[in-house]
Amino acid sequence: MIRLLLADDHPVVRAGLRAVLELEPDFVVVAEEATAEAAVVRAGRGDVDVVLMDLQFGDRLDGIDATQRIRALPDPPRVVVLTTYDIEGDVLAAIGAGAAGYLLKDAEPGEMARAIRAGTGDTVLAPRVAQRLVRRSLQPDTALSARELEVLGSVAEGLSNEAIGRRMFLSQATVKSHLVHVFSKLGVESRTAAVAAARERRLIR
């Protein structure tokens, strides 16, 4: 019998998870929490095997932090992250925080149940998430360097090349140089298009 804790700020999602997961004979939902803070506390009571953790509570990304704190508990439950978006940065952060799996909310119930059961050893990624990570690691030519991503992030905040240069202690020439590479890798020809493309490819939020 696998004892589950649901951590999500949406009542509808909690009800849906409970409904689909309790169809599995070996699953039992022992608690629901609507905040990351409450989920950490509840997970510490020791009667939970797996926490299903949303990443976004309200408009904050508290799920990563909560995952980290749950994994720091003595004899901690496993944490399976269950979120809407397969943002590359979020996946890496979740794994770094000690998550045992990364599922997407649009998954079929059967797939979810399988991932929750399987997550004893290695990290379990939703097929779509894993596929994207693998595909990108096979295409180093289109992968942005850390520096390029950093510049692009500042562009997405609306900064000018000159302002980015000041922030990063670079000349405008260097900023432009990075951006030209970014444009080429993303197949676009303007900063706004680069931001749109990067967001679509879930390189930035």
Site residues for DNA per CB under 7 A: 140, 145-148, 160-162, 165, 168-174, 176-180, 183, 189-192
Other Cβ atoms less than 10 A from the Cβ of 49: the count is 16
d(CA 187, CA 142): 9
Q: Convert residues 166-205 into a mask of x (bound to a copy of itself by CB under 8 A) and - (unbound).
A: ----------------------x-xxxxxxxx--x-----
DSSP letter for each residue of 78-122: EEEEEES---HHHHHHHHHTT-SEEEETTS-HHHHHHHHHHTTSS
SS3 186: helix
Q: Convert residues 18-47 into a mask of x (bound to a copy of itself by CB under 8 A) and - (unbound).
A: xxx---------------------------
Q: Convert residues 77-116 into a mask of x (bound to a copy of itself by CB under 8 A) and - (unbound).
A: -------x--------------------xxxxx--x----
- Tell me the CB-side half-sphere exposure of residue 34, using CA atoms within 13 A: 6
User: How many chain residues are in contact with a copy of itself, going by CB under 8 A?
Assistant: 37
CB of 42 to DNA, least distance (A): 35
Q: At what angle do helices 88-96 and 127-137 cross, to 10 degrees?
A: 100
Partner whose footprint covers residue 108, from DNA, a copy of itself, none (CB < 5 to 8 Å by kind): a copy of itself
DSSP H helices, 22-87, are 36-43, 62-71
* Phi then psi dihedrals of residue 146, to 5 deg: -60, -40
Other Cβ atoms less than 10 A from the Cβ of 113: the count is 18
Partner whose footprint covers residue 113, from DNA, a copy of itself, none (CB < 5 to 8 Å by kind): none
Question: Is residue 160 near a copy of itself by the rule CB under 8 A?
Answer: yes
Question: Is residue 155 near a copy of itself by the rule CB under 8 A?
Answer: yes
Residues that bind a copy of itself (CB under 8 A): 9-20, 58-59, 84, 105-109, 112, 155-160, 188, 190-197, 200
